[in-house]
Amino acid sequence: MVVVNPLKCTGCAFCVPVCPSRAITSRGRAEIDTDRCVACLECLDYCPVAALCRGKNRKEPHE
Amino acid sequence: MNDRAHCDVLVLGSGMGGLATAALLARDGFRVIVAEKMPRIGGRCSTMDYDGFKCITGVVGVETKGIVQELFHRVGADFDVQEAGAPHYLINGQICQVPSRGGMKHLMMAAGADAMDVETVMNAITGALHWRTPSCDVALGDWLRQYTSNPKIIEIFQALVSAVLFVNVNELSVHTYFEFLRKLKGIQRFGYAPGGSIRLAQSLARVVLDNGGEIWTRCRVNAIKSHKNIVRGATVSRWGKSISIKAPVVISNVGPKETARLAETGILDHSYLRELDQRMKPAVITALQFAMDEPLFESNHLLVTGTQSLNSVYQPTMVCPEWAPEGRHLLVAGSAPRNCREPFDGNLEIERCLADLRAVFPDFDSRAKLLLAGTFQGAWPGMHSLPGEDMDRKTPVINLYNVGDGVKPLGYTGLPGVVATGIDVAEEVMGRNKILTGAP
Ligand SMILES: Cc1cc2nc3c(=O)[nH]c(=O)nc-3n(C[C@H](O)[C@H](O)[C@H](O)COP(=O)(O)OP(=O)(O)OC[C@H]3O[C@@H](n4cnc5c(N)ncnc54)[C@H](O)[C@@H]3O)c2cc1C
Ligand code: SF4
Ligand code: SF4
C-alpha cells in the first residue's frame, strides 16, 4: 500500500493518470483509495516532490 | 552498470532548461549526462496520457518566432509547433479577436472604455516603451490607475499578466511588465506541439543522444559534491544502486532552492542562502483539464477578464486534434489566486476556478468532464520565482550553475525564460572552456 504525505503533496495530480487501478484522486492534494491500490508503486516515480511512500511507516523508498 | 561514471558536464533534471543546455553543450563536443528522476523527460513541459487525452504537465502554449524557436534551429532540433493564430479575449461576455496592430486599443474599446481614457493609457504606454521606463517600485495596477479609473481596462492587463507571468497587476512591478513587452513582445505568437508538449523535450533529447550524450531517467540526484568550493559531480540513485558521477561542471535544473539543499547548504555562503529565502517566492497556479465532445467556443485560446481567478482557457485540440481521442476535445483552464503571496488552499482555488468556468460558459458541467485538477505551488510551482525576483544563474560553488524558471532574465517568463537560461549558461561554459583549454 502507498500513502500520501499531506505536508509534501503539492496537488499536481501527476500520480493520477499513471495509476493502473485508478486508485488516486486529487483536488489540491492526492488521496489514495486503499481498497483499490495494488501496491505496484508506479505512482512513486512520478511524484515530483516525493510525497508518496510505501507502507504505513512513512519510510520513503527513494530517500 | 558501474557504480562510478564521469562526464564533462552533468545536468541535473530534464526540464526544458536542462535539455536546452545539454543540447547546446553536446553539439559543442562536451560529453553530457542528464540525470532525471522521473520515468519521463520534460518536467513541466511534458505529456501525460490519460484516457487517450494528451494532458499537460505544464506548458500548453509555446512561444513561436522567438528565442525557443531560435534555440531549436541552432542545435538542429525539429521545432514542430502549430501556430495558434491571433489571441482572443473574453470581455463583457463577448469574444474579441486581437488585431495584429493596435491590439490594446481595440481591447479597451471593446471593454467600453471611453475614448479619452483609452488615449491617455495608450500615450502612457508609448512613453514608457519608447522614452522612460517607470520605476521598479510601482505596481502595474497602481501605475495604470494614474491614467484610468475604469476597472475593465485594468482587468484586461490582469488577464494577460496572470495567465502569462503568473502574477497579478497589483503585484507585478511596472518596470518588469515593460521589460516583458520589450523582450517578448507580450508573447503575441504561440502554438501547440503536435503530439503533446513532450515532443519538444524529445526533440532536444535527440540532439543530446545524437551527439554522444546520455539521458538517464529514473535517476534521482541525492547530493551535489564539491571540494574546496569547486563542484566535483553528484551522487545519484538508479535501479536501487548508488552511483557517483564525476564532472567538472554541474548544471542544475531542479530549482535554486533544491540545488542549495542538494549542495549541502552549509557550504554555500550565508548571504546567498538569505537571498534565496527572501527572493524565491513560487508562482502559484492551477490547471484544470477537461474532456469534451464539442468545443466550448470557436477559438483555441481565450484570455478571460472579470473573473475571480480564472485567467485563460485553451482548446489545443482545435489546432492539434491528436491531443484527444478522435472526435473529442481537451480543454485546459488556467487560474491563479488574486493574491499570490497569501497561503494557498488548493481545493478552494479549484472551486473558484470551477465557479468562474460555470459563470462564463453556460451549461459548463454538462459539456465538460473534469479529467485532472492540478495545483502548482511550493516545491513544484508554476514557476520557481515571480517575474523580476530571480536568482543569479551562478551559485557560490564554482562551476555549479542553475538553469530553469527560478533564474530567468528580467522580462522573460515560462518556456522562453527557461530556454534563455540554458543558452546563457551553455555559452558561459563554452567560453570558460576555451579560456582553460586555449582553444580558439
Ligand atoms: C500548469 C502549468 C502551465 C504552464 N503553462 C505554460 C505555457 O503554456 N507556456 C509556457 O511557456 N510556460 C508554461 N508554464 C511554465 C513552464 O512549464 C515552466 O516554466 C518550465 O517548463 C520549467 O522548466 P524548467 O526547466 O525550469 O524545470 P522543470 O520542467 O521543472 O524540470 C526540472 C526537472 O528536474 C527533475 N528533478 C527534480 N529534482 C530532481 C532530482 N533530485 N534528481 C533528478 N531529477 C530531478 C524534475 O523531475 C524535472 O523533470 C506552465 C507551468 C505550469 C505548472
Ligand atoms: S501503488 Fe500502484 S495501484 Fe497503488 S496508488 Fe500507486 S499506482 Fe495506484
Ligand atoms: S504526484 Fe505527488 S505531489 Fe502530485 S498530487 Fe500526487 S502525491 Fe501530490
Read off the CATH number of the domain in which B46 is found.
3.50.50.60
Predicted pLDDT of residue B99:
84
Whether B70 is in a domain gets the answer: yes
Whether B191 is in a domain gets the answer: no
Global ipTM: 0.94
We report the CATH number of the domain holding residue B362 as 3.90.660.50
Range of the domain at B323: 284-376
Tens of each residue's pLDDT in chain B, 440 residues: 569 999 999 999 999 999 999 999 999 999 999 999 999 999 999 999 999 999 999 999 999 999 999 999 999 999 999 999 988 999 988 999 988 788 889 999 998 888 999 999 999 999 999 999 898 889 999 999 999 999 999 999 999 999 999 999 999 999 999 999 999 887 779 999 999 999 999 999 999 999 999 999 999 999 999 999 999 999 999 989 999 999 999 999 999 999 999 998 666 788 999 999 999 999 999 999 999 999 999 999 999 999 999 999 999 999 999 999 999 999 999 999 988 778 899 999 999 999 999 999 999 999 999 999 999 999 999 999 999 999 999 999 999 999 999 999 999 999 999 999 999 999 999 998 777 666 65
Measured CA distances, B407 to A37, B4, B62, B64 (Å) = 39, 30, 19, 22
Report CA(B12)–ligand 2 centroid distance (Å).
Answer: 27
Task: Please give the grid coordinates belonging to residue B29.
Answer: 563536443
Residue of A nearest to B344 (CA): A28
| Shortest alpha-carbon distance between residue B219 and chain A (Å) | 10
Same domain, B289 and B368: yes
Whether B15 is in a domain gets the answer: yes
Max Cα–Cα distance, chain B, nearest Å = 72
Can you state the angle between helices B115-130 and B103-110, rounded to 10 degrees?
A: 150
Q: What is the dihedral of CA B257, B13, B81, B326, to 10 degrees?
A: -110
| Shortest alpha-carbon distance between residue A9 and chain B (Å) | 9
Residues of B with CB under 8 A from a CB of A: 37-40, 43, 48-50, 55, 57, 218, 220, 237, 345-350, 372-381
Task: Please give the grid coordinates belonging to residue B43.
Answer: 518536467
Q: Give the dihedral sign, CA B258/B263/B266/B269.
A: negative
Q: 0.80 cut: is pTM over it?
A: yes
Measured CA distances, B158 to A61, B80, B304, B335 (Å) = 43, 31, 9, 12
Place of cell 521598479: B136
Q: Give the dihedral sign, CA A28/B220/B17/A43.
A: negative
Report CA(B333)–ligand 2 centroid distance (Å).
Answer: 27
Whether B273 is in a domain gets the answer: yes
